[in-house]
Structure formats: C-alpha cells, structure tokens
Structure 1
Amino acid sequence: MEDLESCRLCEWRCGADRLRGERGVCRVGRAEVAATMCSGTLASYIVTLLGCCYRCLHCNAYRISQYPDPGWHYVGHVPAAVLVADARERIAAYRGPRIRTLGFTGGDPIIHLPYMEEVAAEVKRQGLDLGIGLSTGGFSTEAAMERIVGLCRTITLEIKAWSDPVHRALTGAPVGPVLRNAEYLVREGRDRIRVFRTVVIPGMTDKEVGRIAAFIASLDPGVPYRLIGFRPNNVLYYHPGPSREQMEHLCSVCRDAGLEDVAWSGYYPEAVPDEIAARAARLTGAYGGDRAAALTAAYAAACGCPTHPRDCGACPLRDRCPATLREPWRGR
C-alpha cells in the first residue's frame, strides 16, 4: 500500500498520504467497499468501491462516488483475503450464469489500484478461476494504466466527452489523460476491452458522440462502443434525457464514423410505451375497469408479476419478485 503514502494513481497526482488521513481530490483513504453482488448479466462478482477522482454532475452513484461527503455509511474496508473468501462462498451458492470475473466498479476503482492488485493476488492464492474486471473513467496516470492493463481480463472505459471544455464542465477534470489512456488501451490491451461507452446527455454530450466515435474508429473500428441514455440524476436531476429516436440516430452517426459494433440502452420516453399500453388494456377487467390501476399494474406485469389484481401475500414468486428485482438497463 506504499502507493497511498504519496498518492499519484490518478492524473491529479495529489501526493496525499492517504494512509495518514490526508485527502486528495478523491477524498478517500484506503479502499472501502460499498457493496458486492453476483451479476449474471456481466458474469461477474461485482465489488463496488467508494470514492472517485471525478465530480460528475450526472453521476447516478453520487452517494458512492462522492463518499464520505454525502454522509452515507457502507461496509467499510474489507481485507483482500476476506473479500475473496466471501466471493468464493457467494459464487458457489449463486444459481445464475457462470461467474468469470471479479469486477471492480465505483466511483472509480483506479484510485484503489493497490487494493485491486492485492485482491488479484488473493484470488490466485485461493485458487479461484476468476479474472479481474474494471469499469473506469480512465483518469489514471500512464504508469497506473500500464498496471491496469497488466492486471485486468476485462476493462470498460467511459469517455464522458470529447472536448476539454465539456469534459471539464461535466466532470471537473481535463479530458486529455482519458483520450491518451484510451489510445494506450487499444494499442496494448485490445483483447481486454469489454466496451467503450458514453452517457448521452441532450445538449451536453450528444454532440460529442460523433467525435468520440471517429476517435475510436481511428484506433480500431472493431472496438465495441455503447451509448447509455442519461436518466435525470444528481445535479442534473431536472435535465431531460434522450429519446429513443435520438439514441438510434446517434448509433447511425457512430457507424457512419466507421465503428462496426455500436449499440445503445436507455432512453427518456415521452409517452407510455406501446407494450405497456397493450398490457393495460388487457388488465382493465382485472382491476374493475379502473384504467389508472390497469396502467400502473401493466408495468409490473411487463416485468413478470403474475397476480392481478396484485396480491403479494398470495404470490408464488414473492421470494424472487420480478417486479422489484427488475434491472432497467436490461431492456430498452
């Protein structure tokens, strides 16, 4: 953990002694865990770490990324051996798809690179067949990025904006190091790239997408690029998200820029989806002709809720309720 004695893991290069309580831009000391989970979607045991080197206005995990300032309390520091032992136990009990990686997210885990390396060593010591995964905004130093590429089996890199003014306004940080690290990752770690991605914020990052796509295509047109529709959140709570049409259009822009693998998820609907309206029509009788109740219940039915009128007390799925365990990013 000597890296934390004079920390220069991210491009702020604060030099803070995080082991003695000094705080750099990230505001955190040694690695602390917010939560862990098995993700069938990602085939990964996800470890969410607290703290971030950014101050993103749109962050949907700001209580985690801006820790400790929001005042929420989480799991805290978990020794690497304990974390891996817990992962082993929970993966063994998991009944979903095979877990292939132990993936770090946040916040931004790059500020906890020594801990990730410690966990990777412990994974090997305990004999788990797991690679290390990372989701990052890419604001690391060159030296840290080299270590990250050597450490990880899969890397998701988020390029939040292309132009420096927009990137600074959104994150509080310059974009140059991110683009430099994206280029390094394609050059030195192409097989480790899961996806590059950008959150589409109308009026802010939507016009950046074409330039980001052209940049990625100039490095390797086969790099997967994912557009994520912004959902009103944090400082931008009252800012609108993109429409389905805008997301489809931006995918076309990316393909025209030369990218071969582009997809999107998430949009901000301006009307009730046709599927929901159709379900509501079918459920009206179950709710005594009450159209408001039928429309409301249609969203639960679309997730797989089987009892209508809804009756959680008698539901055979109450121990694995699909309406409360719905992950919205799994569908459009």
Structure 2
Amino acid sequence: MDDLESCRLCEWRCGADRLRRERGVCRVGRAEVAATMCSGSLASYIVTLLGCCYRCLHCNAYRISQYPDPGWHYAGYVPAAALVADARERIAAYRGPRIRTLGFTGGDPIIHLPYIEEVASEVKRQGLDLGIGISTGGFATEAAMERIVGLCRTITLEIKAWSDPVHRALTGAPVGPVLRNAEYLVREGRDRIRVFRTVVIPGMTDRQVGRIAVFIASLDPGVSYRLIGFRPNNVLYYHPGPSREVMEHLCSVCREAGLEDVAWSGYYPETVPDEVAARAAGLTAAYGGEAQAALTAAYAAACGCPTHPRDCGACLLRDRCPATLREPWRGR
C-alpha cells in the first residue's frame, strides 16, 4: 500500500497521502467496497469500489463515484482475504454460468490498484481459478497502466470522447492519457481487451463516435467496440437519450471506419414500442376495459409477467419475478 502514501496512480498525480486521509481529486483513502455480485452475463464476480478520478456529468453511479460527498454509506474497507473468501462462498452457491473472473468496477478502480493487486495475490493463495478483470475510464499513469495489463485477464476501457474540449467538459479531465493508454493496451495487452466502449449522449458524444472508431481501427480493426445508449442521470438528468435509429446509424459509421466488431445497447423510443402496444390491446379486457391500466401492465407482460390483472401475492413467479429485475438498457 506504499503507493497510497504519495498517490500517483492516475494522471492527476496528486501526491496525496491517502493513508493519512489526505484527499486528491478522487477524495478517497483506502479501497472501500460498495457492493459485490455474481454476473452471469459477464461470467464474473463483480466488486464495485468507491471513488473515481473523474467528475462525469452523466455518471449513473454518481453516489459511488463521488463518494464520500453524496453522504451515502457502504460496506467500507474489506481485507483482501475476507473479500476472496466471501467470493469463494458466493460463487460456490451461484447457479448461473461458470464464474471465470473477479472483476473490479466503480467509480474507477484504477485508483485502488494496490488493493486489487493484493486481492489477486489472495486469489492465488486461496487456490481460486479466477482471473482479474477491470473496467476503467483509462486515466491511469503509464506505470499504472503497465501494472494493470500485467495483472488482468480482461480489461474494458471506456473512451468517453475523442476531442479534448468535449472530454474535459464531460469528465473534468484531459483525454490525452486515455488515448495513450488505449494505444498501449492494444499494443501490449491485445488478448486482455474485452471491449472498448463509449456512452452515446445526443449532442455531446454522438459526433465523437466516428473519430473514436477511426482511432481504434488504426490500432486494430478487430478490437470489439460497444456503444451504450445514454440514460438520463446526475447533472444530465433532463438531457435526452438516443433513439434506436441513432444507435444503428452510429454502428454503421463505425463499420465504415473499418471496425469489424461493433454493437450497441440501450435506446429511448419517442413512442410506445409496437410490442407493448400489441400486448396492451390484448390486456384491455383483463383490466376492466381501462386502456391506461392495460398499457401500464403491458410493460410488465413484455418482460414476462404472467398474472393479469397483476396479483403478486398469487403469482407462482414471485420468487423470481421477471418484471422487476429487468435492465432494458442492456438489450435492444
């Protein structure tokens, strides 16, 4: 943990003694855990750490990334041995796809790199067959990025914008280190790249995507690139999200730039989706002819809710409700 005595893990290079409660841009000291979970879609045991070196206006986890300022309280510091032991127990009880990595997200976990390295050592000591994964905005120093590439089995890197003015306006930080680290990752850790990604914010980052695609293609056209539809959050709570047409168009732009593996998730329709409208028509009788009730229930039905009129007390699926745990921005 000597790195934290004069911290230079991210490109702010604050030199703060985080072990003595000095605060740099990230505002945090030792690593603190916000939450953990098994993710079947990522085949990973996810550890969410508090704090971030960015101040993103669109952050959908701002109570985590901007900790401790929001005033929320979380699990706090968890010794590496305890974290890995808990992961072992929960993975053993998990009934989904095989968990292959112990993945760190945030905030941005690069500011807690020494803790992640300690956890990686503990994974080996306890004999778990798990690689280390990290999801980052890429604002690490060159030395920290070298350590990340040497440590991780999988790396997701988010390029939030191409131009420095847009990146600074959105995150409060320059983009140069991110692009430098993306290039380093392709050159020195190509087999570790899970995806590069960008959140598409209409009027802000949508016109950045083409330039980012050209940049990635110049490094390696086979790198996977994912476009994530912005969902209103934080400072941009009242800013609109992208339409399906916008997301499809931007994927075409990326392919025209030379990228071979491009996909998107998340969009915001301006009208009721056709599937939901059709289900609403079929549910009108069940709701006593009330069109408003039928439309409301149609969204639950589209997710798999089987009981109409809705009656959670009588539903056989109440222990595994498909209608209340869906995260639609992850799919189309």
So what's the TM-score if we normalise by structure 2?
A: 0.99
Q: C-alpha distance in 2, partners of 1:39/1:147?
A: 25
State the identity as a percent.
93
Aligned pairs for 1:174-213 (under 5 A) are 174-213=174-213
CA deviations over 1:145-181 (Å, ceiling 9, x no partner) = 0000001000000000000000000000000000000
CA shift, 1:26, in A, is: 0.1
Q: 1:220 Cα shift?
A: 0.1
Q: Kindly state the Cα deviation for residue 329 of structure 1 after the two structures are TM-superposed.
A: 3.0
Are the equivalent residues in 1 in contact too, given 2:267–2:329 (CA < 8 A)? Answer: no
In the alignment of these two chains, the number of paired residues is 332
Partner SS, residue 313 of structure 2: helix
* Structure 1 residues 36-67: Cα deviation after superposition (integer angstroms, max 9, x where no partner): 00011111000000000000000000000000
SS in structure 2 of the partner of residue 314 of structure 1:
coil
1:328 CA drift (Å): 2.0
Deviation, 1:327, is 2.1
CA drift at 1:212: 0.2
Look up the match of 2:98: 98
Structure 2 portions without partners, runs of 5+: none
Q: CA deviation at 1:229?
A: 0.5
Question: Post-superposition shift, 1:98?
Answer: 0.7
Please say which of residues 274-283 and 171-180 is displaced more in the overlay. Answer: 274-283
Question: Is the 2:229–2:329 Cα contact (8 Å) retained in structure 1?
Answer: no
What is the distance in 2 between the residues matched to 1:182 and 1:244?
28
**How many angstroms does 1:284 deviate by?**
1.1
Alignment partner of 2:160: what SS? coil
- 1:246 is displaced (CA, Å) by 0.6
Q: Which residue of 2 aligns with 1:135?
A: 135
CA distance in 2 between counterparts of 1:125 and 1:105 reads 23
Worse-superposed segment, 209-218 or 289-298? 289-298
1:269 deviation in Å? 1.1
Regions of 4+ moved over 4 Å? none
Give the 3-state SS of the residue equivalent to 1:147 in structure 2.
helix
SS at match of 1:326: coil
Q: State the 1:330 CA deviation.
A: 3.3
1: CA distance between counterparts of 2:44 and 2:176? Answer: 30
- Aligned Cα root-mean-square deviation (Å): 0.6
Q: Cα offset for 1:236?
A: 0.4
**How far did residue 279 of structure 1 move?**
1.0
SS of the residue corresponding to residue 165 of structure 1 reads: helix
1:268 is displaced (CA, Å) by: 1.3
Name stretches of at least 5 consecutive residues in structure 1 with no aligned partner: none
Deviation at 1:324, TM superposition (A): 1.4
Aligned match of 2:125 = 125
Q: Distance in 2 between matches of 1:30 and 1:328?
A: 34
Q: Is the Cα–Cα contact under 8 Å of residues 164 and 174 in structure 2 kept in the other structure?
A: yes
